[in-house]
A = this chain, B = another copy of it.
Amino acid sequence: MARERQFSRRSLLGGAAAAAGAVTLAGTGAGTAAAATTRDVDVAVIGGGIAGLTAARDLVAGGKTVAVLEARNRVGGRVVNLSLANGGVTEGGGEFIGPTQDRIKALADSLGVATFTTYNTGKNLLYKDGTRTPYATDGLLGSVPPVDAAGLANAAIVQAKLDDMAKTVPVDAPWTAPKAAEWDKQTFESWLNANAIVPSAKFLLDVACTSIFSAQPRELSLLYVLFYIAAAGNESTAGTLERLTDTANGAQESRFVGGSQQVPIKLAATLGDRVVLSAPVRSVTQSGVKYVVSADGATVTARKVVVAVPLPLTGRIAFDPLLPAARDQLSQRMPMGSIGKAIAVYDTPFWRADGLNGQVVSDSGVVRSTFDNSPPDASYGALMGFIEADEMRAYDASSADEVKAAVLKDYVTYFGDKAKSPSSFVLQRWDNEGFSRGGPVAYAPPGVLTEYGAALRKPFGGIHWAGTETSTYWTGFMDGAVRSGERVAKEVLAAL
């Protein structure tokens, strides 16, 4: 308990990284800022998340010298393993992998990180209007959640409409969709109000929206939502809303053995001391044909710079010369969603014996969507709940104990009294993390994609852009991060 409390307090201060330090540094060979004050390389990569590390891997493979400057004292960015009091590991950030996410799969395979199927045996739970209803389904919209027939019919029509509209949105240039202007003028909420006219259908779409974006429908451009659906596929498979929301056959289908951060940790290990930790970059200054990248405790000169940090944070680096107005104003206009994860650990995954798969869809509480996050051998049970959008904002400034109490109240409502007393409890609030400031991804309100989308990947001199926000497929996911790293490395290699 003492260990758990200490952990929670660190997490509250935005330092889950500190607690996870031992895990993240072991075996990476990554240098510290103190050991690496000045370097001269071909390419400086800002950000040691999956995007930046992937770019670095490909640049090294292309024969270039590289330095990766990572602000935290760990790699992985929005992907982090958290140590549990029982010796296990859980995941504070991105954790799932699913079909068509080929690039994260290939990367994990190359690093020897295996996957296992997300626990999905038994019934889901719908908690709505104070009633708890187990139901057999696969994912939120995939099958038959027990709402009224009119709602189901309406939801199915809305889902089909969104998928059809998404098919007309080019993932590499959503602003060129035939109806881009019309769709970028309205919020997703305005469109839902006109189309999801049965209340239970609106409920299902609202939950889908907050689950996917950690933002409310009123915050999102309809065009951006359609782009995101279109991006939930690959070059040969059209994206669908169902693939975003489903467990089996969807984006939540599988997990990584040892925790998702194994991927960036092992990737960083292949880069050795090219990765500099605890080196937040403050400025990028052009000096002749080179750039001077200045971080706390480290300075790197480079011919090219790859920026692979969350989009809104790019504007927090002082560029000289200044970024073009379009890129700067884009970074002002795509904010991070609001997200946290709460993992309660129990001696056993007791809900399985009750015939439940641990997945909840709820209309109330601080946690409205849960997963069974137990390890593959079920040596202990772990219930993971997302805290999203309005709920996260309501609890961002609360004490860790207050959040824990609210979460466990929900878990008891969903899974009964056995949920009341976990052996440990881990909370990760991304809004409070200084080098993320929200999650899972930066989204676009109305009017942004059509006016600023073209600035997303456009290089500025020798400065190139990566990060999951810049991906054409699976933006917002680990797969998108990998794709963006691979794309930017190609760009830079061609330019060097």
Measuring CB to CB, which residues of chain A are less than 8 angstroms from any residue of chain B? 13-14, 184-187, 189-190, 193, 215-219, 280, 282, 312, 315-316, 318, 321-322, 324-326, 328-329, 332-333, 335-336, 338, 390, 393, 396-397, 429, 431-432, 434, 437-438, 445-448, 451-452
Contacts and interface: CB of A to CB of B under 8 A. Distances in A.
Contacts of A217: 185
Nearest to A189: B185
A342 to B, nearest CB: 16
Contacts of A321: 13
Nearest to A442: B332
B451 A390 contact: yes
Given A329-B437, A332-B438, A393-B452, 20 more contacts: A185-B187, A185-B217, A186-B187, A186-B218, A216-B447, A218-B446, A218-B447, A219-B448, A282-B318, A312-B315, A315-B315, A316-B316, A325-B338, A325-B429, A325-B431, A325-B437, A328-B431, A332-B335, A332-B336, A333-B335
Most buried by B among A187, A315, A432: A187
A187 B222 CA distance: 11
In this complex, the member of A215, A219, A438 whose beta carbon has the largest number of chain B beta carbons within 10 angstroms is A219
A454 to B, nearest CB: 10
Nearest to A186: B190
Nearest to A217: B185
| Count of chain copies | 2
A168 B233 CA distance: 46
B326 A336 contact: no
11 contacts: A186-B187, A187-B187, A187-B447, A219-B445, A219-B447, A219-B448, A325-B429, A326-B393, A329-B338, A393-B452, A445-B447
A335 B327 CA distance: 13
Question: Top 6 A-B pairs ranked by shortest CB distance?
Answer: A325-B431, A332-B335, A325-B396, A219-B447, A445-B445, A185-B218
Contacts of A332: 312, 332, 335-336, 437-438
Contact of A190 (B190, B216, B282, B445): B190
A116 to B, nearest CB: 33
A321 B432 CA distance: 11
Contacts of A193: 185
Contacts of A338: 325, 329
A322 B396 CA distance: 13
A438 B329 contact: yes
Nearest to A340: B325
A336 B190 CA distance: 24
B446 A328 contact: no
A180 B219 CA distance: 14
Nearest to A394: B451
A343 to B, nearest CB: 20
